[in-house]
């Protein structure tokens, strides 16, 4: 999942970005509300981590703009404001969850996954398609109950494809899911990861829709003769 962190404190921001990247997330970090709004207008994010005390455009004003504009991006408010009234106000504005600083990184990650499951209507963290099972929380993938040895990029790619099996994702969309602003991307990077993933899954699991992109499908069972 690709996340947008809107946090103006450099120490907190750097620590959160580092921890989330180690957990396998792709994270873009902005330090004021206007930059957050611009990023959301031009990029695709699975979740916004929003501090309320942002400069230029505060988190409350940004949240109001997003919901009045029809944005349904999940928003996890991460703030030092611990009053019950602040929590109620933010949730009523359209925030999906509220976490008070200081917080434990593991709790933040657990809340991110809970919001992700809620978005796609799953009660369990595991995503399944036939014999393939992917657990983004433990970052494990299994085929026929046997573990798959995947690199971090390969796992992120598989997780993006299995979120909505059969949905075609373009190379640009996959690239956007795998890389943040601060990372250099080779022109054939996604294709290389797809090739490696096909070798480990089986070539029929990932289909190329010519001129459009790629999709994950359960292979048809072999018919014995």
- Contacts of residue 3, defined as CB under 8 A and 6 or more positions apart, other chains included, come to 20, 25, 26, 27, 28, 45, 46, 47, 48, 49, 112
Model confidence pLDDT, tens digit, residues 99-141: 999 999 999 998 998 888 777 655 566 888 999 999 877 788 9
Give the residue-averaged pLDDT of 38-58. Answer: 92
Model confidence pLDDT, tens digit, residues 205-223: 999 998 899 999 998 765 5
Domain 127-216 architecture? Orthogonal Bundle (1.10)
Q: Which phi and psi angles does 25 have, rounded to 5°?
A: -85, 155
pLDDT, the chain, mean:
88
What percent of the chain stands above pLDDT 90? 61
Task: Answer yes or no: pTM beyond 0.75.
Answer: no
Within the chain, all domains assigned CATH 3.40.50.2300 are found at 2-120
Residue pair 190/178 in contact by the 8 Å Cβ criterion: yes
User: How high is the pLDDT of residue 224?
Assistant: 52
Model confidence pLDDT, tens digit, residues 114-125: 888 777 655 566
Within the chain, all domains assigned CATH 1.10.10.10 are found at 127-216
The CATH number of the domain covering residues in 2-120: 3.40.50.2300
pLDDT higher than threshold 90 for residue 11: yes
């Amino acid at each position: 999942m690709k996340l947008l962190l809107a946090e103006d404190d450099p120490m907190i921001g750097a620590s959160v970005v580092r921890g989330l990247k180690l957990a396998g997330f792709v994270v873009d970090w902005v330090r004021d509300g206007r930059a957050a709004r611009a990023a959301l207008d031009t990029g695709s994010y699975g979740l916004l981590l929003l501090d309320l005390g942002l400069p230029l455009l505060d988190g409350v004003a940004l949240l109001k703009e997003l919901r009045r504009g029809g944005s349904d991006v999940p928003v996890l408010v991460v703030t030092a404001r611990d009053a019950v009234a602040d929590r109620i106000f933010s949730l009523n504005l359209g925030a999906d969850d509220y976490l008070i600083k200081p917080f434990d990184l593991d709790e933040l990650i657990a809340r991110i996954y809970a919001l992700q499951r809620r978005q796609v209507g799953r009660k369990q963290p595991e995503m399944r398609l036939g014999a393939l099972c992917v657990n983004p929380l433990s970052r494990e993938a299994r085929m026929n109950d046997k573990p798959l040895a995947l690199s971090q990029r390969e796992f992120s790619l598989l997780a993006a494809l299995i979120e909505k099996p059969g949905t075609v994702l373009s190379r640009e969309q996959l690239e956007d899911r795998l890389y943040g602003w601060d990372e250099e991307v080779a022109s054939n990077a996604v294709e290389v990861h797809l090739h490696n993933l096909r070798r480990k899954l089986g070539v029929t699991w990932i289909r190329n829709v010519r001129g459009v992109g790629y999709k994950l499908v359960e292979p048809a069972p072999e018919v014995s003769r």
